[in-house]
Structure 1
Amino acid sequence: MNTYDAIVIGAGVIGTSTAFHLAQLGARNVLLLDRKTVGEGTTSQSSGILRTHYSVQENVELAQLSWQTFNNFAQYLEDDEASCGLVKCGYMIWAPEGDKLEPLRASLEAQHQQGIPLQTLDASQASELLPIARFDDAALISFEPEAGFADAYLVATSFARAARRRGVTVKEGVNVERLIVDNGRVVGVDTSAGRFLSDQVVSTQNIWTPELAAWTGLSLPVRAERHTVLALEGPEAYTFNMPVFKDLASSGMLYGRSYGGTQMLVSEGVVGETLDSPDTEQGDVSLDAIVEIGAQVAERFPSFETAGLATSWTGVYDVTPDWNPVLGQLPGIEGLSTGFGFSGHGFKLSPAVGRILAQQALGMPTDVSLAPYSIERFASGKLLVGKYGSGAVS
């Protein structure tokens, strides 16, 4: 009764996607475990932005595959009632003259070569799409029409429901306490609800990955980092028809989107506050942070100089040294694989990542090579470094 074809640890958007894909690809008996409830952790804190723009080309392929799923979500899950809450409003990114211009140009050229539909806009065309913004300092503006935002919590719970329909057992409120290894091979896990056996374990523990490091003795470079998100109430409408934006001209490399009505959801794309230990509880949002982000918003969106604060929250990233994930088999322990260190990109890539982690666990060829994402890259120096600096679009 307690033996499974595969066990997935962590029921956020990556873990639920992995469990779903394991069942979809033929695993008959899958167990998904979470210390809390499905999607309750960092998934519920996501801003939900979807795009294929990355300056690390490997990520573009994952984002492309994931967009295909988001764009046909109910059909993909074979559930007419499933929804990811997709708003297809497009994604606009721009840079001024200076150190971000050529990196942006190079990233866009690579995207074009990978078949991403893109439009280069002048200031007048950009203003038609995002009339509340000013573009007089923008040297390069790109628009990706096949982009937008969705609801990460809804995606996680939909994946979990679809997984259950395919026979996956989902146990919430169960804390994994130890990985059981015998002669260099994983054979199961000990938990607060007892022992569960499997020769395939996939860890999607996110900011709790240091627990996996303690169980295995492996060095798994990841830290928990807290970021502030604001919802500003402005005097002008920011409708769902207006695109998501990324402002490489601002000091914080702001990103934002409509939050409905006259509200803008906005945050900085820079390094956040490192936490001493994993913690998804809401942190303090300082007045200084509100003022600093608000001043940058007002510089780009003049009418928002008088905006009020509608709400705020903090989200926690699982960050690696190069701000990109570790995916696949871990060395020295057969049957153990992982996906961690998404550094704020996990939701965007979750359908494709869940599928390739499931393929790898089942011994199948993977849709996208896992080699660039291996943990060995930190020793070899073959890092997946983005062109815009730490904490930015990578």
Structure 2
Amino acid sequence: MSHWDAIVIGAGVIGTSVAYNLAAMGAKRVLVLERDQIGAGTTSQSSGILRTHYSVIENVVLAQQSWAVFKDFAGHLQDEDASAGLVRCGYLIAAPQGPKLEPLAQSLAAQQAQGIEVHRLSAQEASERLPICRFDDAALIGFEPEAGFADAYLVASSYARAARRLGVKFMEGECVTRLVLTQQTVTGVETTRGVFHAPVVISTQNIWAQELAQWTGIQVPLTPERHKVMALQGPEAYTSAMPVYKDLGSAGMLYCRSYGGQQMLVSEGTAGEALSGPDNTQGDVSMDDVMHVGEQVAERFPSFAEAGLASSWTGVYDVTPDWNPVLGAVPDVPGLVVGFGFSGHGFKLSPVVGRVLAQQALGLPTDVPLTPYALERFRTGQLLHGRYGSGAVA
């Protein structure tokens, strides 16, 4: 059992999606190697927000096609028991007068041109949807009714189950130690258990993608960043019927959503704490951090000035210099296909990213052009810069 049609490194939400799509497209012998457990890495730390709003049009296309999968996830996997845990509550995004206003207007127009249902709301209309929030300073408010949030771990485990049904082999607790190269062409991988041979390897290693530089000598422009997330217990409920909210007017460009009962999940949409290497263990969330975010929340959600901290945790992003992913084949290393650098967007894009990476690995035309996401863009300077700034809505 050492020879395979394709090997996937990593069994997070991207890797499991790739594995399922490979098998669904006809690959008979697919092996997935996961250093920990399925979905136990950065996937388990995801805030789970789903939207198509991006200021990079290529991301809008990926997110739009992915949403079509999420809203019929059981049908997509042909498994009536499969669930994404989808809550279709909508997505509100607002900007005051200032530098974020025109980028927001342009992004909303681009979504509409793509055929996505997006509405411009008055402050009163926004308040009817999110009554615990104040919109008196908003110069522009966009509302995407076909949006919400879901459960990334549940999605990864559902993909894995569907992939297994199609014959995919998963090996957990199996750490890849190097790529096996013959004249700089991939012929397999080596693990502590031995060598597994395949003509193509798909790396979905997230923050561990830096290992590719050690194994191949290619440049991997990637920085692991730790981000802090909090659940605040307020006096008023942030119900699951209320939309996800993105506040371009706050210092941290907050994003927040219902977290059950009276609780709000909230985090900042700015750059986080850069780490020296891959590490997804839980970091500290200090009371200074809580106060910093809590003050911004209270400005926008007045009743949450009295909120308490219910829980907090950290998640780690695999961040590229332009905050957008690297997708596709690596010309300098034939047989290697990569998907890394999602910068916090991986879960939103995972269904279609899994499909196009599988297509690339099998030598098929990709449903979405991958040239804009090529690793070479960091050499040529053709970066995918978002209009809101680093760490925000790319």
Structure 1 runs (4+) greater than 3 angstroms displaced = none
Give 1:192-341 correspondences, 5 Å limit. 192-341=192-341
Partner Cα distance (2:30, 2:288) in 1:
47
2:149 aligned residue: 149
Tell me the CA shift for residue 10 of structure 1.
Answer: 0.4
Query: Could you report, residue by residue, the CA deviation over 1:316-336 in whole angstroms, capped at 9, with x for unpaired residues?
Result: 000000000000011221111
CA distance in 2, matches of 1:46, 1:40: 11
After TM superposition, give the deviation of residue 257 of structure 1 in Å.
0.2
- State the one-letter code of the partner of 2:384: L
Q: Deviations over 1:14-68 (max 9, x none)?
A: 0000000000011010000100000000000000000000000000000011101
Where does 1:1-394 land on structure 2 (aligned, <5 Å)?
A: 1-394=1-394
**Residue 131 of structure 1 aligns to a residue in which SS?**
coil
Output the CA distance in 1 between the equivalents of 2:138 and 2:363. Answer: 48
Letter in 2 for 1:242: M
SS of residue paired to 2:333: coil
In structure 2, C-alpha distance between the alignment counterparts of 1:337 and 1:76, rounded to whole Å = 24
User: How far apart, in 2, do the equivalents of 1:212 and 1:91 lie?
Assistant: 36
Q: Secondary structure at 1:280's aligned position in 2?
A: coil
Q: Quick check: 36-45 or 183-192, which moved more?
A: 183-192
Matched residue of 1:93: which SS?
A: strand
Q: CA deviation at 1:2?
A: 1.0
Task: Indicate the SS of the match to 1:344.
Answer: coil
Q: State the AA in 2 paired with 1:346.
A: G
SS at match of 1:8: strand
Whole-Å separation in 1 of the counterparts to 2:82 and 2:121: 35
Q: Which amino acid aligns with 2:147?
A: A
Counterpart CA distance in 1 for 2:364 and 2:71 is: 25
**Counterpart amino acid of 1:37?**
Q
Return the letter of the residue paired with 2:273: E
Alpha-carbon distance in structure 2 between the residues aligned to 1:283 and 1:331: 37
Q: Summarize deviations over 1:212-259 as a string: whole Å, max 9, x none.
A: 110000001001000000000000011100000000010000001000
TM-score after normalising by structure 1: 1.00
Question: Hey, what's the Cα distance between the residues in 2 that align with 1:78 and 1:33?
Answer: 24
Q: C-alpha displacement at 1:183, in angstroms?
A: 1.9
Once residues 162 and 193 of structure 2 are traced to their aligned partners in structure 1, the CA distance between those partners, rounded to angstroms, is 24
Q: CA deviation at 1:88?
A: 0.2
TM-score, normalising length: structure 2: 1.00
Inter-partner Cα distance in structure 1 for 2:188 and 2:74 = 33
- Unmatched 5+ stretches in structure 2: none
Q: Distance in 2 between matches of 1:262 and 1:139?
A: 28
Q: 1:108, 1:358 → 2: CA distance?
A: 31
> Could you give the per-residue CA deviations for residues 253-288 of structure 1, whole angstroms, max 9, x where no partner exists?
000100011100000000000011111100000111
Deviation for aligned residue 1:134:
0.4
**1:347-380 deviation digits (Å, cap 9, x = unpaired):** 0000000000000000101010000000111111
DSSP 3-state at the match of 2:355: helix
SS of aligned partner of 1:316: strand
Q: 2: distance between equivalents of 1:225 and 1:203?
A: 19
Q: Distance in 2 between matches of 1:242 and 1:276?
A: 38
Amino acid at match of 2:390: S
RMSD (CA atoms):
0.5
SS state at 2:239 partner: coil
**Which letter maps to 1:162?**
A
Q: Which AA in structure 1 matches 2:385?
A: V
Quote how far apart the aligned CAs of 1:95 are: 0.2
2-structure distance, mates of 1:103, 1:27:
43
How far did residue 184 of structure 1 move?
2.7
% identity of equivalent residues: 67
Deviations 1:154-207 (A, max 9, x none): 000110000000000000000000100112311000001211000010000100
SS at match of 1:103: helix
Cα distance in 2 for partners of 1:143, 1:193 equals 51
Q: State the distance in 2 between where 1:143 and 1:261 align.
A: 23
